[in-house]
Chains A and B, each alone.
Chain A
Amino acid sequence: MSDAAPLAQVTAPPRGPAAGEIVPIVIFAGFALIPFAAAFGAQAYILDLFTRVMIFAIAALGLDLIVGYGALVSFGHAAFVGIGAYAVGILAAHGIDEALVSLPVALIAATAFALATGAISLRTQGVYFIMITLAFGQMAYFTASSLAPYGGDDGLTIHVRNAVAGFAVFENHRAFYYVVLACLLGCYLMCRALIVSRFGRVFRGARENPTRLATLGFDVYRFQLVAYAVSGALGGLAGFLLANHTEFVSPAYMSWPRSGELIIMVLLGGLGRLHGAIIGAIVFLLIEEWLSGVTEHWKMIFGPFLVLVVLFARGGLMGAWDQIAARVRGKAS
């Protein structure tokens, strides 16, 4: 299969299990061990940072599902995160701080928004799809900004994290960290199962040749809409966790630069491989954290870095990794 290498740059064909599994295993083992390593350092800070990383990784994972496997570039994905977060915030404002209530509400609200906006957006293609999802995202942003009873522009403070069946599990930062990790792992495994399922095969095929899929008898639109809804639900889950993490919700969660950041995470890690989105979220947020500590003009350094990655590592960081791994393997044999 030596001739499969050039193709990997264009699309991401399903790869064999053995070689491709190392990176995800390392990622999840790393996440699992970080709280122990953190015990020797600034524990609260590191736990806090990586909780945030994993939450954004969930949203990036959802985005990679539709961008990487369906070529549906959604530029309004922050809206789903925001809707999930507001579900927690608004319920909390009414004294409901039970996760068994707020989580389903967050998921249902994000999914419903995805179905309603996707039903319209998916009638369009390419640049028009990007623009219309951006428009819906901004619509959600301005709606949240005008929610005067819930803080409007200023956002809304959540005074106590959600309880789970009455137990204050989320208040323990280490327990919350592992809850987020479990969510990330669950979402990752679910997405992997999804893309190799019957459904996923049709969805991936639709990216390659929608006309062919239609002449086979598949109503491509329905498959794309379901994938879009799943992607939105993952955003909603990320929002639910984010609100509990920051104990605050704000319209800024939904603003278009946030949507752009999610796209950058996916591109940075490498499209269409799922764990690429997780790597992207890790690298993006760690660089942001580190550089913003060095200088307030950190974006002037981060911008050129992104340009370099896009120019020299077409498949993102995971694409570069694959090329290096292939070269090492070539030398060894």
Chain B
Amino acid sequence: MSEPVLRLDDLHKNFGGLTVTDGVNFAVEPGELHAVIGPNGAGKTTLINQISGLLAPDAGRIVFCGTDITALPVAARAALGLARSFQITSILPGFSALENVALAVQARSGSSFRFFGRADAERALNERAMAALAEVGLGGRADVAAGHLSHGEKRALELAIALAMEPRLLLLDEPMAGTGRDETERLVAVLARLKGRFPMVLVEHDMTAVFALADRISVLIYGRILASGAPDKVRADPAVVAAYLGDEME
């Protein structure tokens, strides 16, 4: 078996007396879409925040592509190829959709300590940004201020920003959060197309989406991994059904 893209070794995190990550061991294999599911408050976003560096774990190790990144700041992790989307939309509302994505491209192509020359006239940046926008179906909305996009479009933009970083791992924190049925279907189709191109960690409440996309599913409850494995195995696991899926599937 090849080296996993991401490995969490016995990760712990407490908020005061509350244990939100309780000895999590977790791995993402190359090319895999690994979904993380669990009830509200299970610690899913906390886990993503620790991987991307917004929160520091109390104990344990995070290894990304063979490098121990446990102590690295957010920007350094991103520079290594760790991209993420946010559950609560995190874009630059005053920038156009194109500029939001072009900034992500810029982050991965050459120095940004360039003080002259219009950044918005750089063909190489704009072309790659347009390609990422087209990929999520926003090709026609490139010049709209991101703050003026619809909610579903903002979710798609969030994804395009992450894509444009050409990541070695994509962390998606509830990409479908708050979207309508049509938009969800469109985003699932986009993710299905991207599958295999990047390894992904997908945190999601929409079980239809999760079971349609995931290669492997880990169930997180009270900060612990209750079960982990192929979708069929997880769906049939009595402990998972009892603790979580029982309600969700009805």
Seen from chain A, the residues whose Cβ lies within 8 Å of a Cβ on chain B are 3-4, 7, 10-11, 13-14, 193-194, 196-202, 204-205, 208-209, 211-220, 223, 226
Contact = CB atoms under 8 A, between A and B. Distances in A.
Contacts of A212: 86, 90-92, 161
B114 interface: yes
A169 B76 CA distance: 51
Interface stretch (B20-28, B103-111, B198-206, B232-240): B103-111
Interface residues of B, number: 39
Contacts of A199: 112-115
Given A208-B94, A215-B83, A3 B119 contact: no
B90 A198 contact: no
Contacts of B114: 197-199
B116 A193 contact: yes
B112 A202 contact: yes
Interface of B: 52, 54, 73-76, 78-79, 83-84, 86, 90-95, 99, 103-104, 106-108, 111-120, 122, 145, 147-148, 161, 165
Given A13-B94, A199-B114, A208-B95, A7 B145 contact: yes
B111 to A, nearest CB: 8
A4 B117 CA distance: 25
19 contacts: A13-B95, A14-B120, A193-B117, A194-B116, A198-B111, A198-B117, A198-B119, A199-B113, A199-B114, A201-B99, A202-B103, A208-B92, A208-B93, A209-B93, A212-B90, A215-B83, A215-B90, A217-B76, A218-B112
A3 B96 CA distance: 13
Contacts of A209: 90-93
Given A193-B115, A209-B92, A214-B74, 18 more contacts: A4-B145, A7-B147, A11-B94, A13-B94, A199-B113, A200-B115, A201-B119, A202-B112, A205-B103, A211-B90, A212-B161, A215-B74, A217-B75, A217-B79, A218-B112, A219-B73, A219-B76, A220-B75
Most buried by B among A4, A13, A212: A212
Task: Pick the most buried of A7, A214, A217, A219: most chain B CB atoms within 10 A of its CB.
Answer: A217
A201 B109 CA distance: 14
Given A199-B114, A208-B94, A214 B147 contact: no
Nearest to A226: B113
B165 A217 contact: yes
Nearest to A14: B120
B96 to A, nearest CB: 8
Contact of B119 (A4, A197, A208): A197
Contacts of A200: 115, 119
Contacts of B74: 211, 214-215
Contacts of B111: 198
A305 B52 CA distance: 49
B75 to A, nearest CB: 5
Contacts of A198: 106, 111-114, 117, 119, 122
Contacts of B122: 198
B55 to A, nearest CB: 12
A90 B180 CA distance: 68
Contacts of A214: 73-75, 78
Nearest to B96: A13
A205 B114 CA distance: 15
A217 B113 contact: no
A291 B129 CA distance: 54
A13 B92 CA distance: 11
A216 B78 contact: yes
Nearest to A12: B94
Contacts of A7: 94, 145, 147-148
Contacts of B54: 211, 215
Contacts of A205: 92, 95, 103
B69 to A, nearest CB: 13
B240 to A, nearest CB: 31
A223 B112 CA distance: 9
A197 B116 contact: yes
B103 A215 contact: no
A11 B113 CA distance: 23
Contact of B104 (A3, A193, A208, A216): A216
Which are the 5 A-B pairs with shortest beta-carbon distances? A217-B78, A11-B94, A214-B74, A217-B79, A208-B92
Nearest to B109: A198
A42 to B, nearest CB: 41
A200 B113 CA distance: 9
Q: Which of B73, B103, B112 has the most CB of A within 10 A?
A: B112
Contacts of B147: 7
